[in-house]
Amino acid sequence: MTHIATTKYIALSSFLANAARDERIPAGLIKLIESVADACSSIATAVERGVFDGASGNAHSENIHGEAQKKLDVVSNDIMMGAVESVSCLRGLASEELESVQMTGHEHSADTPDYLLLFDPLDGSSNLEISGIVGSIFSVLAAPATDAVLDESHFLQPGVKQVCAGYAIYGATTMFVLTTGYGVDGFTFDGESASFVLTHPQLQIPENTREFAINMSNERYWEEPVRRYVRECVAGASGPRQTNFNMRWIASMVAEVHRILMRGGVFLYPRDNKNPQLAGRLRLTYEANPMSFIVEQAGGMSTTGEMPIMEVQPDHVHQRVPVILGSRLEVERLLRYHDEAAAA
């Protein structure tokens, strides 16, 4: 077996130090990003070892959304919290697995900016029992520069305010994908050096695609603009698009977004009338916002169908939102179909 020397790749720690020197990220953020990346490599190990460590299967508990928690959801949440709690610039955190936001107890320092971390520690966990792809998603917001006690209201910032976002994917390889608003960079975990190294610099999503991802079993619940879009894709070369499309569905947003970053595509979890009281399935603050930041930084686009996802003002930290994101020309087409339906 031939090994390619990983020394030719820049390590995440050096990448962050360079970015801070070039003022592409505040120096204070480095420790937080490194701690999140450390947590992700530990979560990758926990996922891999789940069956041996007695961590596979259900936790026999539910999260705030009423969804059955897997043991690894709980383990991953504990790993992430344990890794970041001591980071002095972190004032508070919110997680899919925690009912309420939690404060770290760190006081505001006049010298460095403070941050809030929002995360889904293990996205796509229904894939665990089939050894399918799972991941972690995170978003960083600036905390107000105040000595006052913070609460949930400080987390309720639209996605355009994010200072950093990323995800880790636990698949054939473990990758850490990051944006601080200067494009999107992908790092692969190198087991030999036990570190993430830059393998996919400045990722760009092709503006065109012939691949879409949607849970087709929900078709009867969709609104007409989404039905029209998918109908036209499925009609292929003999339909109005005059070209054949391909469809993928992995049931893990991390895996779908990663595929789109690598080769283009469009991902939809749109508004539907399955549960009319819910705006959508995916969570705004720790799923849709960070993924939208990444997709837009890579040249793609994201929308609810009515407005840019990152302009939605959150009402609460676990809020849901309709999601359409990916290759720019397809998202623009979907927006046009929504506009035409609204004008009819």
Neighbour-count burial of 321, counting CB atoms closer than 10 A to its CB (0-12 exposed, 13-18 middle, 19+ buried)? buried
Which residues make beta-bridge pairs with 189?
196
Least Cβ distance, residue 20 to ligand AFP (angstroms): 32
> Does 252 sit near ligand AFP (CB under 6 A)?
yes
Which is closer to ligand AFP, CB of 233 or CB of 282? Answer: 282
Least Cβ distance, residue 147 to ligand AFP (angstroms): 37
From candidates 64, 98, 251, 278, binder to ligand AFP by CB under 6 A: 251
301-303 sheet: strands from edge to edge: 246-247, 211-213, 266-269, 323-326, 301-303
- Annotated binding residue at 151? no
- Annotated binding residue at 178? no
Site mask, ligand AFP, residues 266-285, x = CB under 6 A?
---x-----------xx---
Go through 64-102 and write b for each residue having 16 or more CB atoms within 10 A of its CB, e for each that does not.
Answer: eeeeebbbbbbbbbebbbebbeebebbbbbbbbbbeebe
Least Cβ distance, residue 222 to ligand AFP (angstroms): 12
> Does 215 sit near ligand AFP (CB under 6 A)?
yes
- Annotated binding residue at 215? yes
Instruction: Answer for the pair 234, 214: CB distance below 8 angstroms, yes or no.
Output: no
From candidates 253, 294, 324, 334, binder to ligand AFP by CB under 6 A: 253
**Which listed range, 12-20, 225-233, 247-255, 326-334, lies at the site for ligand AFP (CB under 6 A)?**
247-255
Closest CA to 245 of 208, 271, 291: 208
Site for ligand AFP in 113-142 (CB under 6 A): 123-126
Least Cβ distance, residue 134 to ligand AFP (angstroms): 8
> Does 77 sit near ligand AFP (CB under 6 A)?
no
**Which listed range, 155-163, 221-229, 230-238, 248-256, lies at the site for ligand AFP (CB under 6 A)?**
248-256
Calculate the alpha carbon distances from 193 to 49, 79, 196 in Å: 20, 21, 8
Least Cβ distance, residue 259 to ligand AFP (angstroms): 12
Q: Is 62 left (phi over 0), alpha (psi -120 to 50) or beta?
A: beta
- Annotated binding residue at 299? no
Instruction: Answer for the pair 157, 119: CB distance below 8 angstroms, yes or no.
Output: no
Instruction: Answer for the pair 286, 96: CB distance below 8 angstroms, yes or no.
Output: yes
How many angstroms separate the CA atoms of 323 and 237, rounded? 27
Which is closer to ligand AFP, CB of 57 or CB of 181? Answer: 57
How many angstroms separate the CA atoms of 119 and 263, rounded? 25
Query: What residue ranges bind ligand AFP (CB under 6 A)?
Result: 67, 123-126, 215, 251-253, 269, 281-282
Binding residues for substrate: 123-126, 215
